[in-house]
Amino acid sequence: MDLKHLKRKDSKRFIKVGDTVIGDGFTVIAGPCAVESEEQIYFSAKRLKELGINIIRGGIFKPRTSPHSFQGLGLEGLKYLDTVKKEFGVYVVSEVMDPRDIDSMFPFVDIFQIGSRNMQNFSLLKEVGRAKKPVLLKRGMASTIREWLLAAEYIAEEGNLDIILCERGIRTFENYTRNTLDLSSVPIVKELTFLPIIVDPSHGTGLKSLILPMSKASIACGSDGLMIEVHPDPKRALSDGRQSLSFEEFERVWREIRNFYKCLEEFKNQSLL
Ligand code: PEP
Ligand code: MN
């Protein structure tokens, strides 16, 4: 593949986000699909921090299929992200949809998310490439792995190599699930590039009951982490409520994911002996 900046080499890229590192060990990012109110994000960040989650997600610009659906709080949401960052010391990942918003978001966001629908928005890619902040690049829902990695090259071409790839499923003829979570991309990406890759089983399946098994599968195939949607009251969520875990559900999933990861690490260490 014609990768110039991101071609695999001996060392992996570790991406520093405050005092945490993505690519070294296993990172779980969690939070609501969208920031809906100060109370909602405050409660979410508090519970997640208590569980030991340091990077939270929450969109303030939502790319919705219908223009009549909730579009996100927009820049008002930045105030609430700022509050939780200061109060709980968490880091924040949030989607940027328009290059004109990068400057206003910059002080409040620790990782810029490029959503599936914008994976090939080349002017947006170039602009986040110039911003000195890590980028979470989701796979386009109809993109090949080559197109995805070349989208990452656009960011790298501008000098920003702090790119985290995120597999979020692709559209196939299967419609029982929201998307088909293509976990084969994880080892393929690792063969081709030095970038870390995480998996989003929430958008990848659209089904709560699949989050735990697909999270375990992601760990088993070498993912560097996960991004999971969780909401204080999923039934009342303004976006993606059906696929969002409640905090009680998330806690159970989180405990199992941690145990599974630990077991696998022990197994790897033993087989080296
Ligand atoms: C999201 O993360 O909420 C989102 C909109 O994801 P995607 O771009 O993968 O659909
Ligand atoms: Mn969502």
Q: Return the pLDDT at 170.
A: 98
Q: Return the pLDDT at 233.
A: 98
- The alpha carbon of 266 and the centre of ligand 1 are apart by a number of angstroms equal to 33
* 221 in a structural domain: yes
Q: Is the pLDDT of residue 253 over 90?
A: yes
Pocket test for ligand 1, best of 203, 205, 243, 244 (most atoms within 8 A of CB): 203
* 2 in a structural domain: no
Q: What digits encode the pLDDT tens for the residues 106-151?
A: 999 999 999 999 999 999 999 999 999 999 999 999 999 999 999 9
Q: What digits encode the pLDDT tens for the residues 89-109?
A: 999 999 999 999 999 999 999
Q: Is the pLDDT of residue 63 over 90?
A: yes
Which bound ligand lies closest to the C-alpha atom of 64?
1
Measured N-to-C along each axis, helices 122-130 and 145-157 cross at an angle, to the nearest 10 degrees, of 40
* CATH code, domain with 231: 3.20.20.70
Structural domain that includes position 128: 15-272
Reported as a pLDDT band with limits 50, 70 and 90, residue 273 is low
* 147 in a structural domain: yes
Q: Is the pLDDT of residue 34 over 90?
A: yes
Pocket test for ligand 1, best of 56, 69, 94, 113 (most atoms within 8 A of CB): 113
- The alpha carbon of 243 and the centre of ligand 1 are apart by a number of angstroms equal to 12
Q: Return the pLDDT at 271.
A: 78
* Range 36-51 average pLDDT: 98
Task: Give the nearest ligand 1 atom to 57 CA.
Answer: 2
Give the type of residue at 182.
D
Q: Return the pLDDT at 197.
A: 98
* 3 in a structural domain: no
Q: Return the pLDDT at 28.
A: 98
Q: Which residue minimizes the CA distance to atom 10 of ligand 1? A: 116
Q: Return the pLDDT at 186.
A: 98
* Range 195-211 average pLDDT: 98
* 86 in a structural domain: yes
HEC secondary structure over the chain: CCCCCCECCCCCCCEEECCEEECCCCEEEEECCECCCHHHHHHHHHHHHHCCCCEEECECCCCCCCCCCCCCCCCHHHHHHHHHHHHHCCEEEEECCCHHHHHHHHHHCCEEEECHHHCCCHHHHHHHHHCCCCEEEECCCCCCHHHHHHHHHHHHHCCCCCEEEEECCECCCCCCCCCECCCCHHHHHHHHECCCEEECHHHHHCCHHHHHHHHHHHHHCCCCEEEEEECCCHHHCCCCHHHCECHHHHHHHHHHHHHHHHHHHHHHHHHHC
Q: What digits encode the pLDDT tens for the residues 156-202?
A: 999 999 999 999 999 999 999 999 999 999 999 999 999 999 999 99
Average pLDDT, the chain: 97
* 135 in a structural domain: yes
Show the ligand 1 pocket: residues with CB < 6 angstroms: 33, 59, 63, 115-117, 138, 168, 203
- Quote the pTM value: 0.97
Q: What percent of the chain has pLDDT over 70?
A: 99
Q: How many domains does the chain have?
A: 1
Q: Return the pLDDT at 262.
A: 95
* 10 in a structural domain: no
* 128 in a structural domain: yes
Task: Give the nearest ligand 1 atom to 59 CA.
Answer: 3
Q: What percent of the chain has pLDDT over 90?
A: 96
Q: Which residues partner with 164 through β-bridges?
A: 136
Reported as a pLDDT band with limits 50, 70 and 90, residue 272 is low
